[in-house]
Chains A and B, each alone.
Chain A
């Protein structure tokens, strides 16, 4: 649908039926003249407004989106607007990371009696959008392909030698199998010396193949929901254990069904960083680690590298190298460093340095590579929809099969939105991406804002409730956005 050329901009409003839609009616009945740009979509409650509707409208080219509901404490459904307030506040804080000006989105409260207030809200918001002008179109924004590979300095010593407690760990797993566990998830050596692969150990022989070290990159928590109701074990690094805790907190697995084996972690590697140091296509013959040094033998030649050069970003900033929850913890725990004061976040640091339009171009450039394989989804321990992902169905039809940057980015937005307040930051989505698209930044932005608004980190407490699934009547950290 075309907007009235030159006169109007495309502004979409989501109004709750009981308060704000009534307020708009009251304004109309009072003949309160308003700008004509706004198109109102009636919803039962502001709590009905999935933030993805707002993102959909903005990605599809809306110049502004307004959500209005009943005032806090006055929700027709008693609590819908409390949920809306948390979700929409977070959304507003999220928007800049994908290059959308947060001023293009607003949410506010207007009651059915407040015709004048509604007129002011519409007038002020419309004026604001006109001042911003038409939203940049994805088609018009120049794609950027630059993505400086920065090596974040580690906040803790990283190591890659043989873990002295590994025999003890193997014994503990064997004991547990003997006591009746159906199997234990761990890692074994993969097709070459730098690749590990997950193993479901059921016999003592399989347990002897269990390894521990810098190549145990996979977060095995991802397999746990499919074993729900069966008694199994899982070996975890600190970061993996947060996934287990979050699954427990969300009742997606039961505490009595899963036995957690932990050992202090000294960091894992980024395989692309190792492979980049080797000639392309060379066959890796062996690999040894000692202290901070890794020696890879490939094509008959030794290649030396340090953990400082090849460790994953998340390991460099890891403050939880030991399992946050475990039944069996063997060996000496790794010293836990304090979080760096500067809050450095790789990925976001670069995005933060770009202008809004440059960020849009950045995502356009990155998402052009996406082949929609959804490996990011498969690797994510918190993606519990599995075969019922909303992106794989027409009912509801959130994404189409169109091969456009918008559709592919929207899938990432769905993933990030579903993980808001639940993502434990294991970065498996990004590691699993065969096209090396930095998709974790989207979840990281939500995580950063969740921390800022709700002082909450996922995966630390089995009794915690993710902040978007609850509310407070008074939200001391959310400022009211008054448009009137």
Chain B
């Protein structure tokens, strides 16, 4: 075998702490290495051309590139060697950037380590074999999980291109958080006026199948061929018959049900339609409150329903859908702000969240758009907004910025002035983060045009007091760090800009999707810069805040981007499998069946070959995890590209002197 080694400087990223020329020189002493050199930027056009030329000139049949992580550029260089006529799997990478130059300061140790990693790659490459992909059919349908604005955009774009869409929404209506908003920044556009037409489009598009009040139960399969089980939670109303007339809701005698759509600042009936523009506009019974379901008494809704849609004994139903790709757009929930005992921890009635305030200002909300504070219904005069509650706060383990709170706080302060021209709005902030089109101008308008008082500093405590007129007030104590003095504001109401985290149950879903997620419930993208909507699981994409905090336009853009990724995936008539799958050596197989037992994909079957039972791998089902290889006592089943001999060669290269 003739191996060529290319050691990349990556500008100074590697060269600064690794002597690449020495690494290249040492590499020449390794078995089968006939050519070795250090190059400035191996991944650049001339860098790649250099590899192609070297393959041709020196008759190389294998290439090692020592540079960045294979998770970054392995696909790049595989294409390069393919251009020069080699099989793409006759290539190995040594990660001397992320795993060497960027984490070690000692140039001598780094150089030695880099040379050893090249040795590992060479030893593995010497045992590589050309691999060839198999083709398989694709189900050209996409599952969109979450019907917020990101999911809606993704669904509409995909459906527009002719792709079948299955949308699963946990709530009884789509719309997500955006449907709860009164206005949007920086234009003070009416949120539901912008969103509602899109929601209607979802309902009317023949390519979209909507499962509301439903959750993903399980996901099996792989890119191109996922099988999704969806739990349609019992609504106790036959939605095929329900016309959304609302008579049941009017007549229902149970009126003390916390209204989740209105963020619990009001109550609704036990049978309810969340809001007038709900899609689907269908009633749902809350079984925790319905007297008929709980106690067997009542039955008013069934009596008044003109279409006979009420079904008190409805049970959850599991439906199965086949899809080829999945877009997760599960959005966010607010951080549990009740950990802030200095803000009352949820016990002061007039200290509310920004989302509650949003519902209060909304014409479709419980107060029909009038701002009344919850405790006594008084129109507040002094309103304090506190930013970064649960954001950028390491003391509660939330180091990150939630991104859009500065903007909506400015919007809410402006709206406050619109609703109550005599009111005073105060904003306590850490920094104003407004890096978007027309954003900074918007926060300035709040201050300059509307006279919102911005105070740079954190609030240390909210102290409830009783005023001479007997009403309750709230002394907001904080620091003004620009003036270097403490401040006190006598507030009637306090609005907390609570930070966001991944939607409740996001971790659970990530496990079903087999994608990574962080401590905060945000899903991990494939590459933070270059693959922001892909995940490391082929065929699974991300849209919206489920990936990290972002505002509406960014969520919409990501929804479209995810849909575009799905379209690209589905543009091919067939998909190719990754040939790094397991292969059975039928001579060695004794058909003990242990591999069949442990395979997570049921990708191994027992077959009879010339009268003898043997294990057989279904190549397009196998995902190449190698659990079978680690199980087979005879070593008869080997996962290609990570065979026992390849890993043993690496171990021996490291451990045998």
- Please, what's the 1-or-0 string for A341-374, where 1 marks a CB less than 8 Å from any CB in chain B? 0000000000000000000000000000000000
Check if A24 sits within 8 Å of B98, measured CB to CB.
yes
Given A42-B70, A87-B630, A398-B644, A48 and B625 contact (CB-CB distance below 8 Å): yes
What distance in Å separates the Cβ of A456 from its nearest Cβ neighbour in chain B? 16
Check if A112 sits within 8 Å of B633, measured CB to CB.
no
Given A18-B516, A48-B625, A398 and B95 contact (CB-CB distance below 8 Å): no
Task: List chain A residues, Cβ under 8 A from B537.
Answer: 76
| Option from B516, B601, B634 in Cβ contact (under 8 Å) with A385 | B634
* B482 in contact (CB, < 8 A): no
Task: List chain A residues, Cβ under 8 A from B178.
Answer: none
- Please, what's the 1-or-0 string for B510-542, where 1 marks a CB less than 8 Å from any CB in chain A? 110010111000001000100000001100000
| Option from A7, A48, A60, A396 in Cβ contact (under 8 Å) with B655 | A60
Given A74-B511, A74-B516, A385 and B103 contact (CB-CB distance below 8 Å): no
* B597 in contact (CB, < 8 A): yes
* B647 in contact (CB, < 8 A): yes
- Please, what's the 1-or-0 string for B106-138, where 1 marks a CB less than 8 Å from any CB in chain A? 101110110011011000000000000000000
Check if B592 sits within 8 Å of A112, measured CB to CB.
no
Task: List chain A residues, Cβ under 8 A from B83.
Answer: none
Check if B71 sits within 8 Å of A21, measured CB to CB.
yes
Check if B655 sits within 8 Å of A44, measured CB to CB.
no
Question: How distant is the Cα of A21 from the Cα of B98 in the complex, in angstroms?
Answer: 10
- Please, what's the 1-or-0 string for A409-432, where 1 marks a CB less than 8 Å from any CB in chain B? 000000000100000000000000
* A62 in contact (CB, < 8 A): yes
Given A28-B102, A34-B103, A39-B116, A7 and B109 contact (CB-CB distance below 8 Å): yes
Given A40-B95, A74-B510, A113-B516, A4 and B651 contact (CB-CB distance below 8 Å): no
What distance in Å separates the Cβ of A434 from its nearest Cβ neighbour in chain B? 24
Question: How distant is the Cα of A70 from the Cα of B601 in the complex, in angstroms?
Answer: 18
Task: List chain A residues, Cβ under 8 A from B648.
Answer: 53, 56, 396-398
B:623-657 near A, CB below 8 Å: 623-627, 629-631, 633-636, 638-639, 642-645, 647-648, 650-657
What distance in Å separates the Cβ of B419 from its nearest Cβ neighbour in chain A? 42
Given A31-B103, A74-B510, A57 and B654 contact (CB-CB distance below 8 Å): yes
Check if B657 sits within 8 Å of A2, measured CB to CB.
yes
Given A36-B106, A39-B120, A83-B627, A48 and B600 contact (CB-CB distance below 8 Å): no
Task: List chain B residues, Cβ under 8 A from A47.
Answer: 625-627, 630
Question: How distant is the Cα of A24 from the Cα of B636 in the complex, in angstroms?
Answer: 32
Task: List chain B residues, Cβ under 8 A from A75.
Answer: 514
Task: List chain B residues, Cβ under 8 A from A22.
Answer: 71, 516, 536
* A206 in contact (CB, < 8 A): no
* A389 in contact (CB, < 8 A): yes
Check if B103 sits within 8 Å of A32, measured CB to CB.
yes
* B590 in contact (CB, < 8 A): yes
The chain A residue with its CB closest to the CB of B655 is A60
What distance in Å separates the Cβ of B418 from its nearest Cβ neighbour in chain A? 41
Check if B627 sits within 8 Å of A80, measured CB to CB.
yes
Task: List chain A residues, Cβ under 8 A from B104.
Answer: 33-36
Which of B594, B654, B657 has its CB near the most chain A CB atoms (within 10 A)? B654
Given A74-B517, A112-B524, A61 and B656 contact (CB-CB distance below 8 Å): yes
Interface size on B, residues (CB 8 A): 74
Task: List chain B residues, Cβ under 8 A from A155.
Answer: none
Question: How distant is the Cα of A76 from the Cα of B539 in the complex, in angstroms?
Answer: 13
* A111 in contact (CB, < 8 A): yes
Check if B654 sits within 8 Å of A77, measured CB to CB.
no
Task: List chain A residues, Cβ under 8 A from B517.
Answer: 74, 111, 113
* A304 in contact (CB, < 8 A): no
Which of B70, B645, B651 has its CB near the most chain A CB atoms (within 10 A)? B651
What distance in Å separates the Cβ of A400 from its nearest Cβ neighbour in chain B? 10
Closest 10 pairs (CB-CB, A-B):
A28-B98, A48-B626, A396-B644, A77-B625, A60-B655, A47-B627, A50-B630, A79-B600, A45-B625, A36-B109
Knowing that A56-B655, A87-B630 touch, tell me 14 more A-B residue pairs with CB under 8 angstroms: A12-B651, A19-B516, A21-B69, A34-B103, A36-B113, A39-B117, A56-B651, A62-B655, A77-B600, A77-B627, A113-B516, A388-B587, A397-B648, A468-B631
Could you list which residues of chain B lie within 8 angstroms of chain A, going by C-beta atoms?
69-72, 95, 97-100, 102-106, 108-110, 112-113, 116-117, 119-120, 507, 510-511, 514, 516-518, 524, 528, 536-537, 580, 585, 587-588, 590, 592-594, 597-598, 600-601, 623-627, 629-631, 633-636, 638-639, 642-645, 647-648, 650-657
What are 5 A-B contacts with C-beta separation under 8 Å? A48-B639, A57-B654, A77-B627, A114-B518, A469-B594
